[in-house]
């Protein structure tokens, strides 16, 4: 096999979810793209990797020191939604239902993977709260074991701010989910969190 082909297949194979066969197909696709398009793609990858920053306030990906959400005076600066990762911000933004700010932890506490609270942007969150003006922190952390650990840790840290309202996104049955296939823990929690229908 051509060494150049071998190299590019090897590089593609390092990407998550890309096996040798997919890597080969991607390489063959490159030959059908014109050279300018391939150059644009690789430049875009390099630029992203080398130039993207983390917002100094919320730790979201940003082109500037402060991301457009934190810099937007139209958003509600009294509410911070705490999420694990950057893609969670995108998921919530796609709902068009939330007008507050975010705080990206950069992961969850996981002793198994050696991720301790100090590896997450928790101190930065506390600094933001201490700077004043924040009335509510919404914890939008996933329901994994690590997620629950992180939630518990955050609740303990945030309890020390007397006037701060701490909320967590509702646990319940997802839209379109069939009860038959939902796990017992979720059903139990959804039952406990039941609300009166007006």
Output the smallest distance, CB 65 to a second copy, in A.
12
Among 66, 75, 77, 86, binds a second copy (CB under 8 A): 86
Q: Does 99 bind a second copy (CB under 8 A)?
A: no
Minimum CB distance to a second copy smaller for 108 or for 134: 108
Output the smallest distance, CB 14 to a second copy, in A.
7
Which range in 55-63, 72-80, 129-137, 138-146 contacts a second copy by CB under 8 A?
Answer: 55-63
Site for a second copy in 8-37 (CB under 8 A): 8, 10-12, 14-17, 22, 24-31, 33, 35, 37
Nearest to 102 by CA among 85, 127, 115, 119: 85
Minimum CB distance to a second copy smaller for 22 or for 186: 22
- Residue reference for tokens 């506490």: 109
How many whole angstroms from its chain centre is CA 194?
A: 28
Among 58, 67, 108, 158, binds a second copy (CB under 8 A): 67
Alpha helix stretches (DSSP H) within the chain:
3-13, 20-32, 35-51, 68-71, 86-95, 122-130, 145-158, 184-192
Contacts of 133 (CB under 8 A, 6+ apart): 77, 78
The total number of residues shown for the chain amounts to 198
- Residues 101 and 69 sit within 8 Å (Cβ to Cβ): yes
Q: Does 185 bind a second copy (CB under 8 A)?
A: no
| Helices and strands per DSSP (H, E), number in the chain | 8, 6
Contacts to a second copy by CB under 8 A: 1-5, 7-8, 10-12, 14-17, 22, 24-31, 33, 35, 37-52, 60-63, 67, 85-87, 90, 93
């Amino acid at each position: 096999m051509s060494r150049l082909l071998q190299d590019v297949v090897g590089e593609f194979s390092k990407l998550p979810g890309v096996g040798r066969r997919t890597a080969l197909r991607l390489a063959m696709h490159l030959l059908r793209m014109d050279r300018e398009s391939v150059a644009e793609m690789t430049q875009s990858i390099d630029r992203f990797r080398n130039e993207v920053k983390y917002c100094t306030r919320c730790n979201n990906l940003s082109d500037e020191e402060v991301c457009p959400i934190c810099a937007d005076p139209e958003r509600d600066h009294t509410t911070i939604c705490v999420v694990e990762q950057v893609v969670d911000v995108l998921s919530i933004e796609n709902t068009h239902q939330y007008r507050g700010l975010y705080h990206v932890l950069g992961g969850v506490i996981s002793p198994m993977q050696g991720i301790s609270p100090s590896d997450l942007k928790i101190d930065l969150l506390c600094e933001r709260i201490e700077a004043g003006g924040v009335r509510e922190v919404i914890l939008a952390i996933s329901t994994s074991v690590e997620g629950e650990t992180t939630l518990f840790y955050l609740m303990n840290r945030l309890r020390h701010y007397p006037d701060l309202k701490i909320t967590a996104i509702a646990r319940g049955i997802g839209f379109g989910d069939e009860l038959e296939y939902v796990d017992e823990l979720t059903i139990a929690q959804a039952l406990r969190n039941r609300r009166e229908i007006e």
